[in-house]
Amino acid sequence: MKRKFTAIVILFLTAHISLYAQSFQKTSQGIHALIQSMDVEISFYSPSIVRVFKRPEGNQQKKESLSVIKLPEQLKLDVKNKEQHVTISSKLISVTVNLETGKVLFEAPNGKELFTEKDYGTQFTAINDAGNATYKVKQAYLLDNDEIIYGLGQQQNGKLNQRGQKLSLKQENMKVAVPFFQSVKGYGIFWDNYSPTIFADNAQETSFDSEVANCADYYFMFGGGGDGVVAQMRELTGQSPMMPLWSFGFNQSRERYKTQFELVDVVKKYRSLKVPLDGIVQDWQYWGKDDNWNAMSFDPTNYPKPQAMVDSVHQLNAHLFIVSWPGFAPKTPQYQEFNSKNMLINFDTWPPKANTKPYDVYNPAARNIYWNYLSKGIFSLGIDAWWLDSTEPDHINVKEKDFDQPTFLGSYRSVQNAFPLQHTGGVYTHQRAVSNNKRVLLLTRSAFAGQQRYAANTWSGDVGSNWPTLKKQIPAALNFSLSGLPYWNGDIGGFFAGAFVKGGGAKNPDFQELYTRWMQFATFTPMMRSHGTDIPREIYQFGKKGDRVFDIQEKFINLRYRLLPYTYATAWAVTHHAGSIMRPLYSQFPNDPAGFENSSEYMYGSSFLVAPVTDKGVANQEIYLPSASKWFDFWTGEIFTGGQTVKRETPMEIIPIYVKAGSIVPWGPKVQYATEKKWNDLDIRIYPGDNGDFVLYEDENDNYNYEKGEFSEIRFKWNDASKTLTVEDRKGQFKGMLGKRKFNIVVVNNQNGINTDHQTINKSFNYSGHKIAVKL
């Protein structure tokens, strides 16, 4: 009996192992398996991007991603099976699936574990969503105890490292919900779900828990570091087009200009003061009273000749943003048409008491209607950019039944977080369809994964005017950028400034200090834009030329323009190489853990380390300089060894800025607007101490001819040992390109910083597009 029982057990185990071996099927992209009553699919989209897709057994609902646009590549994959484990490998990563528990494990080719789910970590809970039988879904993972992660969109929690957090990922004013994080281990995770989601990280697990889903769907991407993961996220969800050159200048706004004459006069005053300006913004109520909210037409009393307004702005060599909202008041023709076609989402949006409703941004036909009104009423006038406000959208008088409201893609609850993506996508694609002569530029208050492909620059919302909020903007911006979204900005001075009105508004010394420090920070962000309520922010509100605060603001606006060649080249790296403009120290210095959780400093491009002053009355500030480089004080040219913390005096005129040794920085001309002067006589600032490389990018500044190859690149190389600057053959050409130009080499040292009265030009030379080497 004993022998027979043993034989039966052996037979059972053999059959059990055989069952595991037969419980998956190879597919062209990976495998399909039935595990724990779930259909599980592992699909390689590239050698470094893998989709993990799970749904309850028998659920045949299809999933079309709103964010992911990449199609799977044809790859050679190696599939191996050992007992209850199956491993699928590309040349860059291996994925192992436990056929008993459903756990998915990711490893590098050398066997180093990168990321893993928990055993039995996928949970489906049956729910009823607005009459639809579906699920609440949770996916749990395990991270290393000391692992640092970034991302999750824009969170105003003041933290760079998002470990130990429990966050509600739901679009709100001042919060951007992107269910994505990346790790210092060099991978990223995108949880592809659009319903409100709880991200939680604690000692037991790291998880995404979404209110509505018919599947668990996420993408693992391996990039090797911060920049590499961002590049993979762009590969997956879309590349970012070039913004127009003028958008990198200075932009003035206010809540709000009340007539077309007031708006044009602001531009005229900047021109008369000879303070640079490129953009002016028309905020809400240009359509009249709230019962005509967002009519996409101009009130004839205060805006009697809108075409003349637009033309006047253009004649002053400036550009005009016009605000547009996703909600409409009942009096408007848009509301009436959307309502007649069941294309409104029936809940209250801004403003209060106006019975305003948002249109169904998820419906392609509704997006067509929206653009038709926008085009006829405003775009036809020749405006230059859109301010798409309330793209969360605002949701007031909230009722639980609001989330049951139907949309083209299901309940509002099921797609809520994708609202900004669908809305901005509609405007971008429609404008691109009618015009290639003007680059789309969308200023938007919220974002979702993939929105970078729609030329969206997201601002941080209606934040308060106070020092703690200013401090939080740095990690908020960096995590936003690390989520794959390169364009971010904020209201200089914060939006709500009512606390400073009593003390004199713009003449209040406390507000002047806060505003000036905020402006210094904004100089080194993807868009420099002054805006807010309670206190007008135009430079002349703070005083006159010769007044300290006026002069400091003018200094930093001018600095922004001098940096245009550098910033525009950095923007090209965003478009052409999936780069980023604002980067944490980790992205540039992945081997220096001392910078991994630094939330007060960041890199602007690859050369500038910026450490904004974010506390009132700071006379000096401590700055950490990463160990992999020597550093130059931007203002004085003084050199510091990396790997140390230095103390820098910070009078109101100074924000600590350090330039990495080996940097090559083109220095633009002094101008009143971005395209006033050609770059035919550029200083090329060399920061010695290491070899350097820089590509100067130029195109036609505001059209899409660059997509046809009409642009030029000039590569500069600095050999530190031989003190030689080599300018390579120019690549490419475009209409209006400079055939000949002059470059002036400025080698920076402690006698040749920016604050030096007279910059020493070490050598000047002419360049006609052919390689030249200049030895110093």
Any idea what the CATH number is for the domain that residue 363 is in? 3.20.20.80
* Cis before 468? omega within 30: no
Q: Which of 740, 776, 741 is nearest to 760 (CA)?
A: 776
**What is the reported pLDDT for 756?**
63
Query: Do residues 102 and 35 lie in contact, with contact meaning Cβ atoms separated by under 8 Å?
Result: yes
- Indicate whether 111 and 218 sit together in one domain: yes
What band does 61 get if pLDDT is binned at 50, 70 and 90?
Answer: confident
**Of 544, 569, 588, which closes a domain?**
544
The active-site residue out of 147, 402, 462, 690 is 462
Strands 406-407 and 602-604: unpaired
Q: Catalytic residue at 728?
A: no
The active-site residue out of 209, 211, 217, 392 is 392
Q: Catalytic residue at 389?
A: yes
- Indicate whether 379 and 269 sit together in one domain: yes
- pLDDT tens-digit readout, 610-661: 999 999 999 999 999 999 999 999 999 999 999 999 999 999 999 999 999 9
Q: Which of 506, 474, 435 is nearest to 150 (CA)?
A: 474
Query: Do residues 324 and 374 lie in contact, with contact meaning Cβ atoms separated by under 8 Å?
Result: yes
- Indicate whether 198 and 310 sit together in one domain: no
Instruction: Count CB-CB contacts under 10 A for residue 677.
Output: 14
| In a domain? residue 758 | no
Q: Is 758 exposed, middle or buried (0-12, 13-18, 19+ CB in 10 A)?
A: exposed
- Indicate whether 79 and 114 sit together in one domain: yes
- pLDDT tens-digit readout, 92-105: 999 999 999 999 99
CA 388 to chain centre: 16
Q: Which domain holds residue 199?
A: 2-142+187-222
- Indicate whether 381 and 456 sit together in one domain: yes
**What is the reported pLDDT for 675?**
98
- Indicate whether 311 and 421 sit together in one domain: yes
Q: Is 353 exposed, middle or buried (0-12, 13-18, 19+ CB in 10 A)?
A: exposed
Which tokens sit at 771? 């390689």
| In a domain? residue 776 | no
- pLDDT tens-digit readout, 360-419: 999 999 999 999 999 999 999 999 999 999 999 999 999 999 999 999 999 999 999 999
The Cα 211–Cα 134 span in angstroms is 10
| In a domain? residue 443 | yes
| In a domain? residue 27 | yes
**What is the reported pLDDT for 11?**
25
Is the confidence at residue 296, as pLDDT, over 80? yes
The Cα 539–Cα 615 span in angstroms is 22
The Cα 401–Cα 384 span in angstroms is 39
Residues in CB range of 289: below 8 A, 6 or more apart: none
- pLDDT tens-digit readout, 723-756: 999 999 999 999 999 999 999 999 999 988 887 6
Q: Catalytic residue at 513?
A: no
Q: In angstroms, what is the C-alpha Rg of the chain?
A: 28
| In a domain? residue 374 | yes
Which tokens sit at 49? 């991007």
Q: Residue 538 phi/psi, 5° resolution?
A: -60, 150
Q: Which of 552, 560, 508, 754 is nearest to 652 (CA)?
A: 552
Strands 357-358 and 327-328: antiparallel
- Indicate whether 258 and 205 sit together in one domain: no
Per the structure, the count of domains in the chain is 2
- Indicate whether 301 and 442 sit together in one domain: yes
**What is the reported pLDDT for 600?**
98
| In a domain? residue 329 | yes
What band does 9 get if pLDDT is binned at 50, 70 and 90?
Answer: very low
Question: Residue 646: which H helix or E strand, with range?
Answer: strand 644-649
| In a domain? residue 578 | no
The one-letter code for the residue type at 217 is: D
Any idea what the CATH number is for the domain that residue 63 is in? 2.60.40.1760
The active-site residue out of 129, 290, 299, 389 is 389
- Indicate whether 194 and 249 sit together in one domain: no
Is the confidence at residue 143, as pLDDT, over 70? yes
Residues in CB range of 184: below 8 A, 6 or more apart: 147, 148, 149, 586, 590, 596
- Indicate whether 250 and 207 sit together in one domain: no
- Indicate whether 322 and 443 sit together in one domain: yes
| In a domain? residue 429 | yes
3-state secondary structure of 634: coil
- Indicate whether 500 and 386 sit together in one domain: yes
The Cα 51–Cα 30 span in angstroms is 10
